[in-house]
């Protein structure tokens, strides 16, 4: 007789208390984990600046190499110019 009352009370309690608590718990965990901290944003900015500086340096080196030897790309990296052209066409 006690089991006839206890089981429905437990089920109703789990449905109306336990399930919403579980859902809200993981929703708040998900929302806090999905945001970037100020440290993450600073790191991304630093990485972006470093990548931009490295790209500028590579462009400078390529200009110097081309001025000294216009055919340096074919000599050291066969097939690279066609890859570069394809990448530029895809990016535009």
* pLDDT single digits (tens) 58-85: 999 999 999 998 888 877 666 555 555 6
What pLDDT, on a 0 to 100 scale, did the predictor assign at position 88? 63
Please give the structure tokens belonging to residue 54.
């490295």
**pLDDT tens per residue, range 8-23:** 888 888 888 888 999 9
Give the burial class of 10: count Cβ atoms within 10 A of its Cβ; 0-12 exposed, 13-18 middle, 19 or more buried.
exposed
Domain boundaries, the chain: 1-35, 36-92
- Assess whether pLDDT exceeds 90 at residue 46: yes
How many residues appear in the chain? Answer: 92
Percent of the chain with pLDDT over 90: 40
């Amino acid at each position: 007789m006690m089991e006839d009352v206890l089981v429905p009370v437990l089920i109703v309690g789990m449905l109306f208390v336990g399930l919403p608590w579980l859902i809200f718990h993981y929703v708040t965990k998900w929302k806090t984990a999905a945001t970037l901290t100020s440290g993450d944003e600073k790191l991304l900015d630093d990485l972006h600046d470093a990548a931009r500086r490295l790209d500028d340096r590579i462009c400078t080196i390529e200009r110097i190499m081309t001025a000294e030897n216009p055919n340096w790309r074919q000599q050291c990296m066969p097939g690279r110019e066609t890859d570069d052209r394809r990448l530029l066409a895809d990016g535009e």
